[in-house]
Amino acid sequence: MLTKLRALADESPDVGLPDLMRAFDESQRGQLYQALFESRARQHASRWLVVVAGCDVLFFDPQSSAELVRKVNIDGPAGALRSVRFVAPGNGDGEAVLLIGAANGIYEMPISASQPSRTYLFEPKENVRGGVNAVALNGDDLVATHSEQGAIHWHRSDPKQAMPLLADLTASAQAVRHAQFATKRFWCSIDANIVTLPATDLQADPKVIDAGQSTITALAVVGDDIYAGTANGEILHWADGGDSGPERLHAGSRRAAESVNLITTGGIPRLFYTDTSLAV
């Protein structure tokens, strides 16, 4: 069957594999998905698995997750570490960087460095116990989300100037999470809403997408497709940039979704998500 599918792909190069697979019956499609997945050569593309704990950035070998290969201690003014994001080379840099969310700000650290190259601070409110949940970078714009502080914007060229973002929406919010630049827009979640702004005008009026009653705990935007996971375990999908109501892809099991992402392998897009169980 796999040989037949590949022959069809050669004959119709403009047709995607998911459409070509409709020529097979349902039971055959299941076998084809498995065969395509197993036929791909295994490639070790990831160099490190990076984790933050306390004031340490821990680098593990992804092929042997128990092996700690490097540790960087950051004892800086932004406080204890809470989150980390890898940013590939770009934005005028020749080296990838880690954006490390902390209690009172963000550390920016080149991947091979032993200390941060920049620190972005904000003035914390009283009795803040959490930290930065997520960070997104787009050119000179750096945005962080923090459930107690809201959303904070810096110009990368001026790390000392923290500016509140979406203040009216976050003032009474319980959960301000996620940060992503995609489709020329900035995206985050505030309680049970997805909020988006033009990437070129972060002070513009936001677009708010209502996801229902449950807090959003996972978010990914891929083209015009929006995927969200909720505190009750639902996985939701908007196919048109959020202009209409969502499709429920998974009904949930009362375990909060922790991550969601769309990854294309072998020409087949696959949606991966995790919750508070050990399953993927």
- pLDDT, greater one: 3 or 243: 243
pLDDT digits (tens, 9 = 90+) for 137-188: 999 999 999 999 999 999 999 999 999 999 999 999 999 999 999 999 999 9
DSSP 111: T
Give the residue with greater pLDDT, 15 vs 277.
277
pLDDT at residue 50, as a whole number: 95
What pTM did the predictor assign? 0.85
* Residue 38, pLDDT score: 67
Residue 91: per-residue pLDDT: 58
All residues at 6 or more sequence positions from 255 whose CB lies less than 8 Å from its CB, including other chains:
233, 275, 276, 277
Given a contact cutoff of 8 angstroms between Cβ atoms, the answer to whether 101 and 86 are in contact is no
Residues 102, 80 contacting (CB under 8 angstroms): yes
| Res 5: pLDDT | 72
| Torsion sign across C-alpha atoms 168, 166, 105, 154 | negative
Q: How far apart are CA 240 and CA 226, in angstroms?
A: 8
pLDDT tens per residue, range 194-228: 999 999 999 999 999 999 889 999 999 999 999 99
| Residue whose C-alpha is closest to residue 61's, from 45, 48, 44, 46 | 48
pLDDT score for 42: 58
Q: Report pLDDT for 10.
A: 76
Give the mean model confidence (pLDDT) for residues 233-261: 91
**What would the pLDDT profile of 85-128 be if each residue is shown by its tens digit?**
999 887 556 789 999 999 999 999 999 999 999 999 999 887 78
Print the SS3 string covering 222-259. Answer: ECCEEEEEECCCCEEEECCCCCCCCEEEECCCCCCEEE
